[in-house]
Chain A
Amino acid sequence: MAVVQRESSAGYITRAPRSSGLADVLEILLDRGLVIDAYVRVSLVGIELLTVDLRVVIASVDTYLRFAEAVNRLDLRAVDDSKSVPDLFEKGGEEVAETKTKGAVEGGMDAIKEKIGLGGGGDDDDDEDDGNSRSRSRSRSGNR
């Protein structure tokens, strides 16, 4: 039993040895790192282009309406058996009522896509997907 639990929990952990996405790197390199103002010069252009829209906060009417719609759509009774969703999924998830598993299925897919570097989770967290390695070959050097 313990083994099964372990396996199912592993699906909810995305593990990366190094920072890969631009979002990871931005937070780390612009917010953190050695700050040594007294001795060296910061010489930069282009930061403003990258930091715009990095943060999405819950404050807008738009967000509230989307939350309302989502709560309306999700079957609240699913809460009672939400812990069993992974089990159902293993036994053939497609047979389970769509409304109940949608979140879990999508989340699982995102994690998988992220792992194999395909990205494309979609929603509001585009920065994250944006930085996966396949993007590096894409030409984004308009401001060079």
Chain B
Amino acid sequence: MSRFYLYGITRPREVPERLREQGIFLIDREGRAAVVSELDEGPVEATRRNLLAHADVVEQLHEESVVLPARFGYILESDDEVLELLALPEVEQLLERHERTCELTLKGTYEESVLAEVGAALNPLRDAYRAAPSVEAGIALGEAVGEGLAERRARDQALVLDKLRPLVLDVLTSEPAGEFAAFNAALLVERNGVEAVETQLEQLAARMSPPLHFKLVGPLPPYSFVRLQMPAVA
């Protein structure tokens, strides 16, 4: 009996040759199709190579039409399990909801000069540190800088999302990683709405950069908006 690694769910269609050569194929049922490859015994290793391959498969298929990308690591133990999954009404609802959507991930990062702006309000602490650069004075100053940076971050995130919200279907923010990270947001956008986001971002950059830098990735499959538990959208 075959085991399958699951990349995602899409509509039945032709798989591009490049993916077919990698052993990627579809299992169909009533207008829905699982994107899979056959798998030998054993678990899937979460290697860089496997993760990038998974992303590559769903992103390439998404260029043509809807793909609900699976979280990394799902294995279906038989054809029956695949068909059972495809029969879920939630799967059909998600496919309909994302027929013409894509995800853009937006990351904001500061360059170091943000510290000068944040620190401008902290002259007494900085002077004290300069006069006597002890660990205590350093921590006092650094903590104040950290607080100032947190406020700055919250303010900038709010400003950016306020401007983008009218252009997107949904937003999901997450904790940014890194000392100079400003914000992380996943934006659900109509496929033909990407350009409007880019234009708005240029206006935001004209206003907020430096010290803020933006990184916009996409159009991606709607990775952040495919929760099966999520109530169906009419």
Contact = CB atoms under 8 A, between A and B. Distances in A.
Contacts of B47: 46, 140-141, 143-144
B179 A63 contact: yes
19 contacts: A5-B206, A10-B202, A18-B56, A24-B105, A25-B52, A29-B72, A33-B71, A34-B74, A34-B226, A36-B74, A40-B75, A43-B73, A44-B43, A46-B46, A65-B135, A68-B138, A72-B133, A74-B115, A103-B112
Interface stretch (B12-20, B162-170, B211-219): B211-219
Contacts, number: 287
Contacts of B88: 39
Contacts of A30: 46, 71-72
A45 interface: yes
Interface residues of A, number: 83
A16 B85 CA distance: 33
Given A19-B59, A32-B224, A144-B45, A106 B217 contact: no
Given A56-B177, A65-B139, A29 B51 contact: yes
Contacts of B183: none
A58 B146 contact: yes
Interface of A: 5-6, 8-20, 22-36, 39-47, 49-50, 54-56, 58, 61, 63-72, 74-76, 78-79, 82, 85-86, 102-104, 106-107, 110-111, 114, 123-125, 127, 131, 135-136, 140-141, 143-144
Contacts of A125: 109, 177-178, 180-181
